[in-house]
Amino acid sequence: MAEKGNDKLNTEEHKVIAYKIPKYMEVMKLNYSRDDKNYRAYLSGLEEAQIIDRVDPDLSTLKRLKPSKIKDQVVRIYVKKDIKQLDEKIKSIHLVTK
C-alpha cells in the first residue's frame, strides 16, 4: 500500500498515504457484518502498526468520530520515505518482539 502514496502530500522525510476510511478497510479486508466492528478493527490496526510515524487526524480524534462522518473522513498515514530508515525500524521492532 505504501507504493500508492500521494506524491503531492509527501514530505522530505515521509511518504504519505491518504485515503478515505472505507478504502483503508477494504485494503485491510475488514468485512464484519457490522460497520462499528470494521471501524474498531481499523483503529486497532492503526494502533498496532509500528512502522507508522504519524496519523492525521490523530487516533484520539478518530476514536471520537461520529459514525455518520466515518465514510467521508480522509486519513493520512505517514511512513518513513527512506527505505534504510524504514528497514531499521522494522528490524528494531522485530528484535524487540522476539
pLDDT digits (tens, 9 = 90+) for 2-26: 455 567 888 888 889 999 999 999 9
Over residues 67-93, the mean pLDDT reads 81
Closest C-alpha to 51, from 96, 12, 85: 85
**In 21-91, where do the E strands start and end?**
52-56, 74-80
As a whole-number percent, the residues of the chain with pLDDT over 70 amount to 81
> Which pLDDT score, from 0 to 100, does residue 59 have?
94
> Which pLDDT score, from 0 to 100, does residue 98 have?
45
CB of 77 closer than 8 Å to CB of 16: yes
Residues 6+ apart with CB under 8 A from 89: 50, 51, 80
Whole-structure pTM value: 0.77
Q: Is the pLDDT of residue 44 over 90?
A: yes
Domain carrying residue 27: 2-97
Residues 6+ apart with CB under 8 A from 31: 38
Q: What is the count of structural domains for the chain? A: 1
Over residues 58-70, the mean pLDDT reads 93
The SS3 of residue 75 is strand
Residue 69 φ/ψ, nearest 5 degrees:
-95, -15
> Which pLDDT score, from 0 to 100, does residue 75 have?
96
